Chains A and B, each alone.
Chain A
Amino acid sequence: MDAEQLLDIQGLKLNLPDGTRLLEGVSLRLNAGEALGVVGESGSGKSLTAMSVMGLLPGLKASGSILFSGQELVNLPDKVMRKLRGARIAMIFQDPMTAFLPVRSIGAQIDEQIRLHHRVSRREARARTVQLLERMGVPDPAMAAKRYPHQLSGGLRQRAMIAMALSCTPALLIADEPTTALDVTVQAQILTLLREIREEGAGVMLITHDMGVVAQACTHVAVMYSGLVVENGPVRDVLDRPLHPYTQALLAAIPPLDGPRPERLPTISGQPPTPDNRPTGCVFAPRCSFVRSECAVRPPLTEIEEGRRVACVLYAA
Chain B
Amino acid sequence: MIRSFLSRTGQMALVIFGISVLVFCIFFATPGADPTARIAGRGASPQVMARIRAEYGFDRPLPVQYVRMMEKLFVTRDLTSFVNHGQKVVPEVVSAAPVTLSLVVWAAFFWVVGSLVIGVASAVLRDSWVDRLLMVLGLIGLSMPVFWLGEVINLFTQSRWHDTWLFRWVPPLGYVPLSQSPIGWAKSLLLPSLTLSVSFMGLYARILRSELLSAMGEDSIRTARAKGAGPARVWLWHGLRLSWLSYVSLFGLDFAQLLGGGALLTEVVFALPGVGRLTYQALATLDLPLIMATVMYAAVFVVIANALVDGLYALLDPRIRDGQHGR
Residue numbers of A with Cβ under 8 A of B are 54, 56, 82-87, 90-91, 93, 95, 98-105, 112-113, 116-117, 148, 150-151, 164
Residues of B within 8 A of A56 (CB): 222, 225-226
- Knowing A85-B227, A116-B228, A150-B322, the reply to whether A101 touches B222 (Cβ < 8 A) is no
- The 5 residue pairs across chains A and B that have the minimum distance between CB atoms: A86-B228, A98-B219, A86-B227, A148-B318, A85-B228
B228–A113 CB distance below 8 A: yes
Chain A residues with CB below 8 A from B223, complex form = 93, 99-101
CB of A161, distance to nearest CB on chain B (Å)? 8
Residue of B nearest to A105 (CB): B318
Q: How far is the CB of B240 from chain A (nearest CB, A)?
A: 11
Q: B317 within 8 Å of A by Cβ?
A: yes
* Residue B45 is within 8 A (CB to CB) of chain A in the complex: no
Contact of A93 among B222, B230, B318 (CB under 8 A): B222
Q: A86-B227, A116-B227 are in contact. Are A102 and B319 (CB under 8 A)?
A: yes
Question: B224 at interface (Cβ–Cβ under 8 A)?
Answer: yes
A98 to B319 Cα, complex, angstroms: 13
CB within 8 Å of A: which of B203-253? Answer: 218-220, 222-230, 238, 241-242
Out of A98, A113, A117, which one reaches B218, CB within 8 Å? A98
Question: Do B227 and A101 have beta carbons less than 8 Å apart?
Answer: no
**A103 contacts which of B219, B317, B324 (Cβ < 8 Å)?**
B317
Complex interface: chain B residues within 8 A of A150 (CB): 318-319, 322, 324
Q: Is the CB–CB distance between B317 and A102 below 8 Å? A: yes
Q: CA A102 – CA B223 in complex, angstroms?
A: 12
Asked whether, in the complex, the Cβ of A99 is within 8 Å of the Cβ of B219, the reply is: yes
Complex Cα distance, B227 from A90, in Å, reads 7
Contacts of B226 in A (CB 8 A): 54, 56, 85-86, 90-91, 93
Interface band, chain B: 20 to 34
In the complex the two chains form, is A100's CB within 8 Å of B228's CB? no
Q: Do the beta carbons of B318 and A95 come within 8 Å of each other?
A: no
A84 to B226, CA, bound (A): 10
CA distance A87 to B242 in the complex (A): 25
Q: Measured between C-beta atoms, what is the minimum distance from B217 to chain A in Å?
A: 11
Q: Mark B8-21, 1 if CB is under 8 A from A, else 0.
A: 00000000000000
Residue contact B318 to A101, C-beta cutoff 8 Å: no
7 contacts between A and B (CB under 8 A): A85-B228, A86-B228, A99-B219, A101-B238, A116-B228, A148-B322, A151-B318
CB distance B227 to A103 under 8 Å? no
* Interchain CA distance A91-B228 in the complex, whole Å: 11
- Docked Cα-Cα span, A48 to B225, in Å, equals 15
Q: Hey, which chain A residues are within 8 Å of B322, CB to CB?
A: 148, 150-151
Complex: chain B residue closest to A116, CB-CB: B228
B177 to chain A, nearest CB (A): 41
Q: How far does the Cβ of B89 sit from chain A's closest Cβ, in whole Å?
A: 45
Chain A: minimal CB distance from B45 (Å): 65
Of all chain B residues, the one with the shortest Cβ separation from A94 is B219
The complex places the Cα of A104 from the Cα of B316 at a distance, in Å, of 9
**Minimum Cβ distance to chain B for residue A201 (Å):** 21
Whether, in the assembled complex, B60 has its beta carbon less than 8 Å from a beta carbon of chain A, the answer is: no
Contact of B85 with A by CB under 8 A: no
- Bound state CA distance, A99 and B225, in angstroms? 11
B327 CB-CB contact with A under 8 Å: yes
Closest to A86 in B: B228
Chain A residue with minimal CB distance to B320? A103
Chain B residues, Cβ within 8 Å of A117: 228
- Chain B residues 268-327 with CB under 8 Å of chain A are 316-319, 322, 324, 327
Chain B residues with Cβ under 8 A from A91's Cβ? 226
A102-B318, A112-B229 given; name 9 further pairs at CB < 8 Å. A84-B228, A93-B222, A101-B241, A102-B242, A102-B327, A104-B241, A148-B319, A148-B322, A150-B324
Shortest beta-carbon distance from A105 to chain B in Å: 8
- Chain B residues near A98 (CB, 8 Å)? 218-220
- Min CB distance B81 to A, Å, is 49
Give the one of B226, B318, B327 with max A CB within 10 A: B226
Contact residues in B for A86 (Cβ distance below 8 Å): 226-229
Let me know if A85 and B225 touch, CB within 8 A.
Answer: yes
Task: Report B-chain residues with C-beta under 8 Å of the C-beta of A54.
Answer: 226
Instruction: Report the separation of the CA atoms of residues A198 and B112 in the bound assembly, to the nearest whole angstrom.
Output: 50
In the bound complex, do residue A103 and residue B316 qualify as a contact, i.e. CB atoms below 8 Å apart?
Answer: yes
Q: In the assembled complex, which residues on chain A have CB atoms less than 8 Å from the CB atom of B230? A: 82
CA distance A98 to B217 in the complex (A): 11
Closest to A85 in B: B228
Residues of B within 8 A of A95 (CB): 219
Give the complex CA separation of A82 and B227 in angstroms: 8
